[in-house]
Structure 1
Amino acid sequence: MVRMWRCSGLRWASEGPELVWSGGRGSALTRGKRVAFEVAEGGVRTCVGARGHACPGRTAVSGRGTGARCEECARLDRAHSVAADGVPDDPRPYRVYLAWFGPGMAKVGITAVERGSSRLREQGAVCFSWLGTGPLMAARRAEELLRAALRVPDRIPYAEKRAVRAALPPTEAERAAEIAELHGRAVALGGWPESLTREPFRTVDHLELFGLEGAPAAVGEVSELVAGGAVIGELVAAAGPDLHLACAGRGVVVLDTRLMTGWGLMPAGGGETTVPVREFRSGGASQDGLF
């Protein structure tokens, strides 16, 4: 009998990405590795629960959503989220950062100091710099100040991030130029919370870690997983939750690993990707234990 696995998502360690499976086991993902799995025939995608607890109703969820949670579990997860100000009394120190994903595409955000730069790798930031460090609510106030004063968002859709990965500037200095300018404007602003310590500009570049330098441009993305469908390809790059896979007969296809959660998955024996793939327009992304 073939064993089914359930994916918990993609985790970024300092040395690179790995897929995490229920039970905690991880599968390291190195460039050139074959990624091959299929969704159980007749399977249904079910809610993954919230905050470490299983969904009480094992509710069926859409194959197209990246959250893999029913409305009730999504609400519970959000209620305990720092991003939604669900834990304003969190005593941990936080950092404010500027992240860059491509030309004209920078954002401001916060992350717990103890997480290091893992949050930036999870978001697919091509480069970033810290801005300041302090208590959570001071970091949150600084984030809001910078968002308004610098006119930068705190969220960028993944479709937009994918759209620019094939045309990134070739040098680290060029990639850092926009956040260097924003950093200079940010530290010159008045109104910073007194408890937030400003940090000097030091860029961290992820292009080599992600494998994007010289990587072939993606031609499409997996729109959803379906029962009986397979994903088979060779890993050429990874950024944020996305795997860039060279698939036979298709070229490079992007798989958002968040689509894998909630499904029962098995090793694939075939040679072709058979799940629905949405082609990119004009060669760029649309704006709209297995191995």
Structure 2
Amino acid sequence: MTWWCTGIRWQDGRPGIGWYGAGRGERDSLLGYGQRLAFAARGERHCLGVRRAGKRTPCPAHRTVPGRTGSAQCPECGRLDRSFSVAADTNAADPRPYRVYLAWFGPGMIKVGITAEERGPARLLEQGAVTWAWLGRGPLMAARRTEELLRAALGVPDRIAYARKRAVRGHLPPPAERAGEVAELHARALALPGWPESLEPVGCEVGDHAAAFGLEALPAPARVVTELVPGGAVAGLLVGAAGPDLHFADGLVVDTRLLAGWELVAAPGDAVTDVPVAAIEPPADAGQGGLF
């Protein structure tokens, strides 16, 4: 029976690795900081199909996918996934209440986003938001219009590349400084004219994921895995995780989106990392021009 990796899963503020077995559903393996991980890829990387409403439909053609892509979906399953998706704006009739949030990833790096209220802060953990705050709650389309308002009026983006988040993660200011940046933008956003009437503003209560991510013990990221290869191993001491990234004590970062679709097996106790990696250069200026 083969269990295919589905990448990282955040549950109750803890990271875990997800697995899918055809005909057996899904399961998770919780991770703990300070534990040694050693695994190797076996066979080929396969499309994971489409997951919707908590259920996964396997890829009907059992296609393989490239090792360097961040998505473990073939083009056909990707198109099907996007055909009924809030993220892709193809499910505008979703009746659930949504929340608008501000997410901080580094100095000058704040984005606006939305998430279904029932998910709580799970989306913020998945994105690697270090500090964050709710901004408002209401229907889906009102939340979308609020996103647009912040982009147009304050220049706040709705996307920040994972590479940028990763590069600054080992060089963060203290909690009070990052909380102050979120609170300042929160106040400016609430003061904007043109808020949708159906969106209820939420007072500023800043949250912080430093403990959940293990940031206090995190070394500056130095190298990142660029792909797995058949037989290639990853090994090291896990010291933290943020968003999709696993951080190891030697500065190695593993983007778990690249693990999805592989069958992973235990590597020998003396295994070392021998998959392709690239250097991570900390940016000279982590600032985000135009936000303020």
Q: TM-score, normalised by structure 1?
A: 0.91
Cα displacement string for residues 16-54 of structure 1 (whole angstroms, at most 9, x for unaligned residues): 1111111322111111012111111xx211111123211
Counterpart in the other structure of 2:266: 267
CA contact (8 A) 1:4 1:265 kept: no
Q: Which among 173, 178, 201 is matched to residue 176 of structure 2?
A: 173
Aligned to 1:136: 140
Percent of aligned pairs sharing the same letter: 59
Is the counterpart of residue 211 in structure 1 residue 214 in structure 2? Answer: yes
1:28 is aligned, of 27, 30, 39, to 30
Rounded to whole Å, the distance in 1 between the matches of 2:189 and 2:77 is 37
Amino acid at match of 1:261: A
Deviation at residue 9 of structure 1 after TM alignment: 1.7
Specify the alignment match of 1:187 in structure 2: 190
- Say which SS state the counterpart of residue 147 (structure 2) adopts: helix
Task: Give the whole-Å Cα distance in 2 for the aligned partners of 1:53 and 1:83.
Answer: 19
Task: Tell me the residue number matched to 1:110.
Answer: 114
Q: Find out whether 1:85 has 2:109 as its counterpart.
A: no
Letter in 1 for 2:198: S
Aligned residues between the structures: 275
Displacement, 1:159? 0.2
Which residue is equivalent to 1:199?
202
Q: What amino acid sits opposite 2:262 in the alignment?
A: W
| AA matched with 1:95 | R
Give runs of aligned pairs for residues 157-172 of structure 1, distance below 5 A. Answer: 157-170=161-174, 172=175
Give, in whole Å, the separation in 1 of the partners of 2:167 and 2:16.
23
**2:10 pairs with 1:6:** no
Residues 226-265 of structure 1 correspond to what in structure 2 (within 5 A)? 226-246=229-249, 251-265=250-264
**Corresponding residue SS for 1:174:** helix
* CA root-mean-square deviation: 1.5
- SS where residue 24 of structure 1 aligns? strand
Determine the C-alpha separation between the residues in 2 that align with 1:235 and 1:94. 34
Contact 2:8 2:15 (C-alpha < 8 Å) held by counterparts:
yes
SS at match of 1:137: helix
| 2:41 aligned with 1:39 | yes
Note if contact 1:218-1:283 (Cα within 8 Å) is conserved in structure 2: no
Q: CA contact under 8 A between 1:102 and 1:168: conserved in structure 2?
A: yes
Please give the secondary structure, in 1, of the residue aligned with 2:73: coil
Aligned CA distance change for structure 1 residues 252 and 97 (closer, same or farther; 3 Å): same
TM-score (norm. length: structure 2): 0.91
The amino acid across from 2:91 in the alignment is V
Per-residue deviation, residues 131-184 of structure 1 (Å, max 9, x unmatched)? 0000111111111111111101101110000011011002x2101122211111
Distance 1:96 1:210 in 2: 22
User: Which of residues 146, 153, 160 is equivalent to 1:149?
Assistant: 153
Contact 1:5 1:266 in 2 (8 A): no
State the shift of 1:15 in Å: 3.6
Matched with 1:289 is none
Q: CA deviation at 1:122?
A: 0.4
Name the counterpart of 1:56: 60
Paired AA for residue 255 in structure 2? D
Give 3-state SS (helix, strand or coil) of 1:106's partner. strand
Residue type at the aligned position of 1:173: A
Indicate conservation of the 8 Å contact 2:168/2:283, yes or no: no
Confirm or deny: 8 A CA contact 2:217 2:239 kept in the other structure: no
> Which one-letter code corresponds to 1:62 in the other structure?
P
CA distance in 2, matches of 1:265, 1:207: 29
Equivalent residues of 1:6, 1:264 under 8 A apart: yes
Which aligned segments of 4 or more residues in structure 1 are displaced greater than 3 angstroms?
none
Give distance in 2, aligned partners of 1:79 and 1:200: 35
Deviations 1:184-230 (A, max 9, x none): 11101111111110011110001121001242112100000001100
- Work out whether residues 129 and 204 of structure 1, in 8 Å CA contact, stay in contact via their aligned partners in 2: yes
Contact in 2 for aligned 1:37/1:265 (Cα 8 Å): yes
Q: Secondary structure at the match of 2:49?
A: coil
